[in-house]
A and B are shown apart, each in its own frame.
Chain A
């Protein structure tokens, strides 16, 4: 009972990046526990997913061919059954929207302590998980009791596993009760609208720091003067000040402009996931400790209501 079981994630026919990061995280744990790394892939084209997941360090891949897309009832039952069969020490799942839709149910059924959103682990006979609290202002280490644990990992914290492995690939038969009470009926792309911010070369993006909707025209003047494309972090869209197709981040669009000018954006991890691929990142924020400065190339620690009018003047 010192193996590690990692559960891959896919959507609309493609494995998601976090699946390959799970392999790295899972291998790290398996090396520490001295066990094997097992990987589960549930639903969809499991055969081709298994081929793709067969990377260096993976010992076994278990496929569950039931259903096409993610369904939490299928995942919960499949992972529960596989866990009972393999009896691993640590179960690793993605801290994604879908991960959070089945991991807590699996942990509850198996009576496993659950730690979510891990950014690192340490294993020394027992599991210690590093995670953040208070909107990334502090990091904590958490000792997890018990002989077996469940952990979800944050995306982009571990590098993706590479290379070609020689894992045993086998179908795992589970008797799934398909008569559960939830049914996925489809998907919808959000936003629409006339502008595709993922195509923009220069993005001016705003966050909570602009305080109120009445301050939006100031930013629009800057956008006008510089020929930029306007985008925002989540709270601006939640408030209804800009449409959903302007949102940059994990649940919005991923953008890769030449320059990303973040105004009044603190840089929460969910936002950073959508813009860290920009060539040059510039931040304007009053809080010198704001996480956005950790990834910025240039910064102004100052009041946007003083800086932005001066900036507009530079281009008029």
Chain B
């Protein structure tokens, strides 16, 4: 079977930063592979190593800069990559779930995978909705927040655990083709090996414009507009201990004794 993994390059914000208009000033952003997608890539690569998957393809919606992140996924074992970008996307602002669904749907139709893995959410805008929306649009089955996956090739069924709140997991059987949104902790993502990094240089990253995907500008009209961005006000009334480590530890110890939890 063929596995398609959605890979997002997300921006991380430095501890100290400034906001310019409705965006974090570019100077304070660092780009990296979305944490949840790292687990999704690992799960796909393991499906290939264990046998059921013949090919692992990644798809990213992102500018040329994101190729660095895509190479990370290729170095970890994905076979090739598709990168969707267009000048129209450059100016689009916050992409809504429908827009991302439209773009990814066009790629899925071209690639025809049996299984699509996405991260549960992206570390930057944290919508957590694209995978399920995509599945519904495609007429695929789906499972959200999957933290264990056991694929049964004979039945073509994914036996999954969905991580609910409060330490409970739901056990669900999902027919393929399907989209699963992958939770952190499902596996242990590997580091890219030097050999992997070298090999990734020669793997294909196919750029696709809206035109290539048979889409027009209407497909990326977002219903959402960010109108303001600000740092949340701190509501802290914590008593902060001042001094060197010995002094602060002393005060902390005092509190623990006062509360009667340590002697």
Chain A residues with a Cβ under 8 A of chain B: 11, 70, 72, 76, 95-98, 100-105, 107-109, 111, 113-117, 128, 131-146, 180-191, 201-202, 226-228, 234-235, 237-240, 244-245, 247, 250-254, 257-259, 261, 279-280, 282-284, 287, 289, 293-294, 296-303, 306-311, 313-315
Residues of A within 8 A of B166 (CB): 250-254
Q: Chain A residues near B162: list those with CB within 8 A.
A: 97, 101
- The residues of B that contact A244 with a CB separation of less than 8 Å are 167
- Known contacts A140-B22, A182-B143, A315-B263: does B224 contact A145 (CB below 8 Å)? yes
Question: CA separation between A113 and B136, bound complex, in Å?
Answer: 15
Chain B residues closer than 8 Å to A294, beta-carbon distance: 234-236, 238
B75 at the interface (CB under 8 A from A): no
Are B170 and A184 closer than 8 Å at their CB atoms?
yes
- Check A182 against B167 for contact (C-beta < 8 Å): no
| Majority SS at the chain A contact face | mixed
In the complex, the answer to whether A182 meets B173 with C-beta atoms within 8 Å is yes
Complex contacts, A309 vs chain B, CB 8 Å: 245
* Contact between chains at B234 and A188 (CB < 8 Å): no
Option from B12, B97, B130, B240 in Cβ contact (under 8 Å) with A301: B240
Q: Are A134 and B11 in contact (CB under 8 A)?
A: yes
Contact A282 B236 (CB under 8 A): no
Contact between chains at B184 and A238 (CB < 8 Å): yes
12 extra interface residue pairs, beta carbon distance < 8 Å, beyond A100-B132, A234-B184: A103-B129, A104-B97, A105-B132, A113-B98, A113-B223, A138-B231, A139-B230, A140-B22, A143-B224, A184-B171, A226-B256, A298-B241
Rounded to whole angstroms, the CA-CA distance of A137 and B10 in the bound complex is 14
> Could you list 29 examples of A-B contacts with CB < 8 Å?
A104-B136, A105-B133, A105-B136, A108-B137, A133-B124, A135-B126, A138-B231, A141-B226, A142-B227, A180-B141, A181-B174, A184-B170, A187-B169, A190-B169, A228-B261, A228-B262, A258-B260, A259-B261, A280-B255, A282-B252, A282-B255, A289-B234, A297-B238, A298-B251, A299-B239, A310-B246, A310-B250, A311-B249, A311-B253
